[in-house]
Amino acid sequence: MKIVVIGGQGTIGSAVANHFKKKHEVITASRNNGDVLVNMENSESIKNMFEQIGKVDAIVNCAGATKWGPFAELSEEDFYVGLRGKLMGQVNIVRIGRHYLNEGGSITLTTGVLADDPVYGATNSAMANNAIHGFVLAVSQEHRNEFRLNVVSPELVEDSAERLGNAFPGHTPVSMQKVAKGYERSVEGLRTGEIIRVYE
């Protein structure tokens, strides 16, 4: 399979890309490095990325910015960070990317445990993540005969636990191998419209 991993230089994205490289052709894309450059917050940049890459069998997105902070301190513009980056960035990847899928292709998005178990300061992330879940459920029904669409929702990963663990009290970090298997389930499996929760 030919797979593009957007955010393929990040903590989760690099692990996912390396996992798929064992069996597939993988192209990484990100804002600052990778095989192809892309700005998720710019539709034209997303289109240009796909024009450079051409047709693929699977699109995997592991990127998307949100704004952390207590709800009472977040401005309207702060909320747009998650709406533009995490939500609309992924919506546009699906909206544009579906035209670059080979027959039987799939798209896999990324959210996270904060959709179901938000921690202090995670309002923006929780809101964007849940919006993506609803988006995936709706679009997968409309296009079930054209392409598969799923979302992987990981727990805090072990590789980020030392840096972020204090912000996730009571959470048990999961291994990168387990998270990568969630993406494998989406890309190599048969299901669509699934929220693949990788939680302990």
pLDDT (tens digit per residue) in 149-177: 999 999 999 989 888 878 898 899 999 99
The confidence band for 130, taking pLDDT boundaries of 50, 70 and 90, is very high
What does the pLDDT read at residue 162? 85
Q: Is the pLDDT of residue 60 over 90?
A: yes
pLDDT digits (tens, 9 = 90+) for 19-40: 999 999 999 999 998 999 999 9
Q: Structure tokens of 161?
A: 């636990």
Q: Tokens for 80, please give them.
A: 């747009």
Q: Is the pLDDT of residue 182 over 80?
A: yes
Range 2-198: architecture per CATH: 3-Layer(aba) Sandwich (3.40)
Locate 176 and state its tokens. Answer: 């990168």
Which helix (H) or strand (E) is 154 found in, with range? strand 148-154
Identify the band that residue 122 occupies on the pLDDT scale cut at 50, 70 and 90: very high
Q: Is it the case that residue 98 has pLDDT exceeding 90?
A: yes
Where are the domains positioned within the chain? 2-198
Query: Which residues of 31-120 form beta strands (DSSP E)?
Result: 36-37, 56-61, 101-110
**What's the whole-model pTM score?**
0.96
- Give the model confidence (pLDDT) of 70-83 as tens digits: 999 999 999 999 99
| Residue 199: closest CA among 159, 165, 153 | 153
Q: Half-sphere exposure of residue 193, counting CA atoms within 13 Å on the CB side?
A: 11
Query: Mean pLDDT over residues 173-197, rounded?
Result: 97
Q: Measured over all CA atoms, what is the biggest interatomic distance in the chain, rounded to whole angstroms?
A: 47
Which band of pLDDT confidence, cut at 50, 70 and 90, is reported for residue 100? very high
pLDDT category of residue 200 using cuts at 50, 70 and 90: low
Residue 93: its pLDDT value, please? 99
The mean pLDDT of 187-194, rounded to a whole number, is: 97
